Structure 1
């Protein structure tokens, strides 16, 4: 089942494109709804590469949701349009195909940001689809908040070490 959520960000396409490549963004925009802990490799890279990343996920940092593979790729892009794809899957989700599109917004200095998710979870697909609707609206709210603050919350050094240690953006577990 498909979920598509779009918002407009108060930043340039170039800046949004740089930020979306950061694994710190993943940690920040999902927190506190989902908390990720890297398994293989043991730390997420500072900048996403075309690679598979095995993580464990916890709902609200408490409820184990099992392992999930984040499978990053960068489909064909143009100077005005960036695509980032996570064609993931996991123990609960047979398919979590997430395509991020970043392109010019309604006026200069603004960016149109779209999350498109194709989710398959067997008999739980409808539940996963409904959760994805809520989750991606939350993500985009966090994106807008970050963009309005020039992405300062994710550009400051973390107190707890390198990215991907499985803590919140504030350093709490």
Structure 2
């Protein structure tokens, strides 16, 4: 389609319509903190001839997606925290070994080999920690999510059990 075609001849795919509307809404929003009420959302959907039940399903799907995004952010923060802890251990242990090597032989010899091999290990650990795509990441996320859900369930049961005995 060219920009010079008459308006009656223009046609767009559904994906193109979504992209155009997304850009139009982004331009219209002069105030980035402006929020829309559910009533306004319903009015917009009605103007686009989107049935309310389709809008509700889309909103439910969006909420599920937002929940997963938040869970992934928590998981990534957990991985970064765990990595920082391991790097701290790496620095402390290697500094101690280098100090021992300096005091024992008057220079650095064998401790550099340990520093090199443990640095390789830490580099691979960094790669795995900050890699947020791929099958390994998904497997790690699913395992973490499962453990997190089990802990949440156990805490709920234990809390209910304690409340029952407090009465």
Q: TM-score, normalised by structure 1?
A: 0.23
Question: Is the strand fraction higher in 1 or 2?
Answer: 1
- Larger RCO, structure (CA 8 Å, separation 6 or more): 1
Higher Cα Rg: structure 1 or 2? 2
Q: TM-score, normalised by structure 2?
A: 0.24
Question: Is the helix fraction higher in 1 or 2?
Answer: 2
